[in-house]
């Protein structure tokens, strides 16, 4: 076994260089092998209480676009499911591919989806800031939702309409009154859960992942607008399309993936 607390992660084309990251035994994303997941009757339905008034801004961070929420109070929270504590929403973002054949970070029996939504929450019962929670075992909870190509998603369209204003890395615009609950599938009772990590630096192993069984549908045109974003800033002379912003799959290393359904 590796005795060092730190391992060198693989070089990632979008990261600045190789990074020393904690652990290595519970990294994300993973392939969910459906027939190996373990039904747990103790897993409760998710309880999301999202206040659209806490929505603040949307920005291009050079890796994805982030919709950020005011997380100074418990106004937008996640409870229940596999969680003992209350978690506060701080942001959501997506990962997607250059075509509809891939783009998700998690996979189901090796099946790829064109995109994946991540709703990021931190434990406000135990910690007072994201920065504190991100270092801790039970610090974060991220909901993952797969996107499939089909009919246009009405809720997503308000977001899509804001994207041309944040085409370049580093651009930010005000974005308010967006209810993140509109991006959840109708059935939030069925999900898989496992212990993992953030999928971009700092890659800390602080995340309870909750992956929804039901996907949401978005149109090809809506995903095309995601792909019109840029990894590059306005100052750079060679523009790079923001596509394939997902991490490669990580080994399960004996972890259990539990399901809330049979």
Q: Which residues bind ligand BO1 (CB under 6 A)?
A: 90-91, 118, 120, 130, 142, 198-200, 202
Whether the Cβ atoms of residue 165 and residue 174 lie closer than 8 Å to each other: no
Task: List the structure tokens of 116.
Answer: 């994946």
Task: List the structure tokens of 90.
Answer: 């701080």
- Least distance to Zn ion, CB of residue 235, Å: 26
| Span near Zn ion by CB under 5 A; candidates 11-19, 81-89, 112-120, 154-162 | 112-120
| Span near Zn ion by CB under 5 A; candidates 106-114, 117-125, 203-211, 243-251 | 117-125
**Which C-beta is closer to Zn ion: that of 26 or that of 118?**
118
| Span near Zn ion by CB under 5 A; candidates 30-38, 74-82, 115-123, 215-223 | 115-123
The answer to the question of residue 121 lying near Zn ion (CB under 5 A) is no
- Least distance to ligand BO1, CB of residue 122, Å: 8
The answer to the question of residue 118 lying near Zn ion (CB under 5 A) is yes
**Which C-beta is closer to ligand BO1: that of 51 or that of 68?**
68
Q: In 3D, which of 168, 173, 172, 171 has the Cα closest to residue 233?
A: 168
The answer to the question of residue 213 lying near Zn ion (CB under 5 A) is no
Alpha carbon distance 36, 113 (integer Å): 20
Give which of ligand BO1, Zn ion, none residue 90 binds (C-beta under 5 to 8 Å, depending on kind).
ligand BO1
Other C-beta atoms lying within 10 Å of the C-beta of residue 1: 3
Alpha carbon distance 240, 229 (integer Å): 9
Q: Which residues of 24-57 are buried (b: 16+ CB within 10 A; e: fewer)?
A: bbbbbbbbbeeeebeeeeebeebebebbeebbbb
**Which C-beta is closer to Zn ion: that of 88 or that of 118?**
118
174, with CB counted inside 10 A (0-12, 13-18, 19+), is: exposed
**Which C-beta is closer to ligand BO1: that of 90 or that of 115?**
90
- Least distance to Zn ion, CB of residue 37, Å: 21
- Least distance to ligand BO1, CB of residue 150, Å: 24
- Least distance to ligand BO1, CB of residue 148, Å: 19
**Which C-beta is closer to ligand BO1: that of 16 or that of 41?**
16
- Least distance to Zn ion, CB of residue 2, Å: 26
Residues in contact with Zn ion by CB under 5 A are 118
């Amino acid at each position: 076994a590796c005795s060092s607390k730190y391992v060198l992660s693989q070089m990632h084309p979008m990261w600045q260089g190789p990074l020393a990251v904690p652990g290595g035994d519970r990294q994300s994303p993973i392939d969910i092998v459906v027939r190996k997941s373990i039904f747990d009757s103790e897993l409760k339905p998710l309880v999301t209480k999202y206040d659209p008034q806490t929505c603040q801004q949307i920005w291009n961070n050079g890796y994805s676009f982030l919709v950020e929420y005011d997380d100074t109070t418990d106004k937008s929270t996640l409870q229940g499911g596999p969680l003992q504590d209350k978690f506060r929403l701080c942001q959501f973002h997506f990962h997607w591919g250059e075509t509809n054949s891939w783009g998700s970070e998690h996979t189901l029996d090796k099946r790829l989806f064109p995109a994946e939504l991540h709703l990021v929450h931190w434990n406000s019962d135990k910690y007072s800031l994201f920065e504190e929670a991100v270092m801790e075992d039970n610090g974060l909870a991220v909901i993952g939702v797969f996107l499939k190509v089909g009919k246009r998603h009405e809720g997503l369209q308000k977001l899509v309409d804001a994207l041309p204003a944040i085409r370049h890395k580093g651009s930010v615009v005000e974005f308010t009154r967006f209810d993140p609950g509109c991006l959840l599938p109708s059935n939030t009772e069925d999900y898989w859960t496992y212990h993992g990590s953030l999928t971009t630096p700092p890659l800390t192993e602080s995340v309870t992942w909750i992956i929804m069984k039901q996907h949401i549908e978005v149109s090809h045109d809506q995903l095309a607008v995601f792909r019109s974003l840029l990894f590059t800033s306005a100052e750079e002379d060679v523009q790079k399309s923001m596509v394939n912003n997902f991490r490669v799959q990580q080994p399960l290393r004996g972890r259990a993936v539990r399901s809330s359904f049979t």
